[in-house]
Amino acid sequence: MGIKNGPKKIVLLFLLICLIVTSACQQEDKNSKNLAYLKEFAKAEVAIERMRKKDPPDWNAIKEQYGVCSKLVKEVDEKNRTHYHAAITEAIEKCADNQRVNVNQQTLAKGLQHIAVMRIRDSIRSMANADLKTRKSIADDIAALFEGIRPTFIRRDTDYFKGDKPLETEADLALAALKAGTDADYITAATRLERIVNRTYALCVLFEMQSIEKLRETNISKCDVKLAEAVIFYRIIAPRIKKTDRNAHQTITATLNAEYSAVNTGLLLNALNRGLSTEITS
């Protein structure tokens, strides 16, 4: 009886091995396609930033580029209960119709940055229950997404650190550590990346509000643009600041809602430092 069943067992074992191999190959193919898409998202994000600054912008071409991004935007919206796809679509239509173009395009440009950061955070959280191979694949995804927001790190390095690159350098070190991360240290690398992202976007909030202080006597229209940028930048870091220091969050919110004449970036900087438990300009 055992001899008769032997060939059947061999066939079943062979089929099981084939199933496992096929499943693994399918997962690798899925991971590869996802990584390729995230790279395309980042390229489109950078392209949109460049295209929107042309005079005049080609909003049909920008809309086409956003079509590349929309898949991820919808996914992140659903997971995080945000509404960026609708807001960005409306903003593009308003810009094409020449309605407050300089203000409305910030919803597109800065909204895509928020989407990228939310996806990076979602990906970091998904590492918790992943094996080492999957974790490395997720780290590749995060690195691909980072390329879309890298220009922001470069700009803030230029604005605040006189040719040094502490923000971009720290982000690259964190990404490298995340890719190489073992069970023991990937959490440290993820925390390191989260901190530098928060610090950079806090500097973005500060930069735009400092611009308002400089422009409020001469260019109210430009102040409106700066405020639109600051509001979205703050959304990126608000969850952390609310959790750390509720009073700091209230100070920052009050600054964003204040009349331009009442903006005090000294108080804002203090609140950002407290909310992130660091000196963001040092």
Q: What is the pLDDT of residues 167-183, one digit of tens each?
A: 999 999 999 999 987 76
**Is the bond preceding 56 in cis, omega lying within 30 degrees of 0?**
yes
Q: How confident is the model at residue 129 (pLDDT cuts 50, 70, 90)?
A: confident
| Percent of the chain with pLDDT strictly greater than 90 | 82
CA–CA dist 248, 276 (Å, integer)? 9
Residue 147 contacts residue 139 (beta carbons within 8 Å): no
Q: Given a cut of 50, is residue 67 above it in pLDDT?
A: yes
The candidate with the shortest Cα–Cα distance to 238, out of 214, 206, 203, 202, is 202
Q: What is the mean pLDDT of the chain?
A: 92
Mean pLDDT of 60-68: 97
pLDDT at 183 (0 to 100): 66
Nearest to 195 by CA among 164, 211, 173, 210: 173
- pLDDT confidence band for 14 (50 / 70 / 90): low
Is the pLDDT reported for residue 5 higher than 80?
no
Residue, of 181 and 215, whose pLDDT is higher: 215
Considering only 73-82, 89-98, 161-170, which range has the smallest mean pLDDT? 161-170
Collapse the DSSP code of 121 into the 3-class scheme (helix H, G, I; strand E, B; otherwise coil) and give the result: helix
Please write the tens of the pLDDT for every residue from 241-276: 999 999 999 999 999 999 999 999 999 999 999 999
Residue 18: predicted pLDDT:
53
pTM: 0.88
pLDDT at 1: 46
pLDDT band at 184 (very low <50, low <70, confident <90, very high): low
State yes or no: pLDDT of 228 exceeds 70.
yes
Give the model's pLDDT for residue 17: 62
Mean pLDDT, rounded, for 73-83: 98
Assess contact for 157 and 196: CB atoms under 8 A.
no
Q: What's the rounded mean pLDDT across residues 219-245?
A: 98
Q: What is the mean pLDDT of residues 52-61?
A: 95
| C-beta separation of 230 from 209 below 8 A | yes
Domain chopping of the chain, boundaries: 37-276
pLDDT at residue 148 tops 90: yes
Mean pLDDT in residue range 215-223: 97
